[in-house]
Amino acid sequence: MIEREEMPYDVVVVGGGPAGLATAIRLKQVDPELQVCVLEKGSEIGAHILSGATIDPKALDELLPTWREDGCPLAETPVTDNWHWHLTKKGKFSLPHIIQPPFMSNKGNYTGSLGNLCRWLAEQAEALEIEIFPGFPAAEILYDDAGAVIGVQTGDMGVDREGNPKGDYQPGMNLLGKYTVFCEGARGHLTKRLKAKYDLEANCQPQIYGIGIKELWDIPADKHVPGRVIHTQGWPMSENDAWGGGFLYHQANNQVALGFVTALDYKNPYIYPFEEFQRWKQHPEIRAILEGGKRVAYGARAINEGGWQSVPQLAFPGGVLAGCSAGFVNVPRIKGTHTAMKSGMLAAESIAAAIKAGREQDTLQEYDDAVRSSWIAKELKLVQNAEPMVAKWGGELGTILAGADMWLRTLFGFGLAKPMKHHTDASETQRADLYKPIAYPKPDGVISFDRLTSVSYSFTNHEEDQPVHLKLKDPSIPTQVNLPVYAGPEARYCPAGVYEFVDADGSGPKLQINAQNCVHCKTCDIKDPTQNIEWVTPEGGGGPNYPNM
């Protein structure tokens, strides 16, 4: 038995993103005497945060009303100009704002770095005497004899690839709380275990996802329009019976954030999300903005796309889910920061009241009820059929139907259909023999790039001599099933080149896992057609180090 240090708190928050930090701040606002800690697996707050991002400040206004005057970096660039383009292969046409529901407008929103917003929120949290531990991933859930969550265990440090302690070995700590809040982001590995243990998805649809791949560019000043927001749909995904869309946001200091989201329910296993992004950048309208500029950062992250019908039970003995662990992204708006923060605030209010009443480690049903009666629910119910309609009927007809459904819900409170169902992204993948391989163009090194060069711009680093954090449940499946049946999709859906099939000794292909490349996007855990890959936390501080994403 390893002897581990124990640290007791009133509340343990897992994840230093917007939801986790909002939870911690609201707890201290309600009761300054509460002892609160925040665990963050990244080397610093913001290191693993990646989003577009155009942010609705609604929750931030509620949490910290004077944020605009208090030095928050998000205040620097309000949205000034909003475009929605439908792309063809060589051209575009703009979708008029008048045909879109009012909530699709970006008026009053801000564009900037979500990572920098989290860094600023962390400063506000520390001023309230909240303890923040970057570089400490929550690796295991701790339970009492009755099965209630009593905290988490951080990962061990200094373990070699075979699992043996090295000279600098440090055992993880047990952080114990009266309540534990899980804010791990999309597809959190502990959240997966909690959903299974407590059957939290018994009464909802399965969560589905997109993979968002993003770059930051410095562009010439004469091309930069601070606050301009552009969203695109149509080409190139329209060519491959799949769907997704691009974004390009003019942020501060002559910089643009651009990226492409590919819905992971695609059927054709030859689809290569990274290459779809590279093709999108070569569209004449996008290339015209980037020419003369310089790429400065790259990254990727999975995005919840299930909507309201995929929100699970949020409370269980000793803990709650908040933020993207629960899945509050408004897919048509491409926004989830405001809903994530609001869920954390509601969790904090329920937890503070429970602790004041002398309760601990019970089920906070009042938090679940509060979310379902909040503006989170109202907003997400308006758009709950948008994603499934596009997924079912395709980009063009699906968009028309989704628009009609959103308008009806906005004006009359009902839609074209009842809340539609989902199928898991993994189960949607079809056999390779039903499709032809896709010939993607070679990168030009100016606008489009290769994958491994791109990963270097994520500043990813993992200690090489540590256990591989991408676990194969059955090591034979990649070569016996995935390669012959699905043409080895893991070599394409990963945006960081973690998986490749190699034949080093001539004995046949084997799956090589380059875990040091991993940017923690979780796509492999989601899209693997046999669900044979499980993502777990690597050694603390490992992964991307996003500077301004």
CATH of the domain at 158: 3.50.50.60
Is the residue at 331 inside a domain? yes
Catalytic option among 37, 72, 324, 518: 518
DSSP-based three-state secondary structure for 223: helix
Helix (H/G/I), strand (E/B), else coil: 314: coil
Domain end marker among 364, 381, 398: 381
| Active site (annotated) includes residue 494 | yes
Among candidate residues 23, 43, 51, 77, the one labeled active-site is 51
What is the domain count for the chain?
A: 2
Characterize the bridge pairing of strands 209-218 and 470-472: unpaired
Do 377 and 406 lie in a common domain? no
Same domain assignment for residues 355 and 410: no
Query: Is residue 393 in some structural domain?
Result: yes
Catalytic residue chosen out of the listed positions 301, 409, 451, 492: 301
In this structure, the strands spanning 319-321 and 174-182 are: parallel
Both 46 and 139 in one domain: the answer is: yes
Q: Does residue 392 sit in the same domain as residue 340?
A: no
| 179, part of any domain | yes
Judgement on whether residues 340 and 403 belong to the same structural domain of the protein: no
Instruction: Please say whether the beta carbons of 386 and 307 come within 8 A.
Output: yes
- Active site (annotated) includes residue 521: yes
Residue 140: inside a domain: yes
72 is catalytic: no
Query: Does the annotation mark 337 as catalytic?
Result: yes
Catalytic residue, from 111, 337, 523, 537: name it: 337
Catalytic residue among 295, 424, 494, 523: 494
- Final residue of a domain: which of 336, 355, 381? 381
- Residue 392 located in a structural domain: yes
In the annotation, is 524 catalytic?
yes
Active site residue 51: yes
| Same domain, yes or no: 61 and 160 | yes
User: Does residue 144 sit within a domain?
Assistant: yes
Structural domain that includes position 29: 6-66+116-204+308-381
* Domain-ending residue, one of 334, 364, 381: 381
Looking at the fold, whether 198 and 155 belong to one and the same domain comes out as yes
- Judge whether 440 lies within some domain: no
User: pTM, whole model, 2 decimals?
Assistant: 0.95
Same domain, 337 and 396: no
| Residues 360 and 408 grouped into a single domain | no
In a domain, 433, yes or no: no
Return the closest-CA partner of residue 525 out of 267, 242, 273, 209: 209
pLDDT by 10s per residue, the chain, length 549: 788 999 999 999 999 999 999 999 999 999 999 999 999 999 999 999 999 899 999 999 999 999 999 999 999 999 999 999 999 999 999 988 888 888 888 999 999 999 999 999 999 999 999 999 999 999 999 999 999 999 999 999 999 999 899 999 999 999 999 999 999 999 999 999 999 999 999 999 999 999 999 999 999 999 999 999 999 999 998 888 788 999 999 999 999 999 999 999 999 999 999 999 999 999 999 999 999 999 999 999 999 999 999 999 999 999 999 999 999 999 999 899 999 999 999 999 999 999 999 999 999 999 999 999 999 999 999 999 988 998 888 877 888 898 898 999 999 999 998 899 999 999 999 999 999 999 999 999 999 999 999 999 999 999 889 999 999 999 999 999 999 999 999 999 999 999 999 998 888 999 999 999 999 999 999 999 999 999 999 999 999 999 999
Q: Is 518 a catalytic residue?
A: yes
Catalytic residue among 37, 72, 204, 524: 524
Q: Long-range contacts of range 231-234, CB-CB < 8 Å, 24 or more positions apart? A: 231/83, 231/84, 231/85, 231/334, 232/84, 232/85, 232/86, 232/87, 232/92, 232/280, 232/286, 233/84, 233/85, 233/86, 233/87, 233/395, 233/399, 234/85, 234/86, 234/87, 234/88, 234/395, 234/396
Strands 228-234 and 244-250: antiparallel
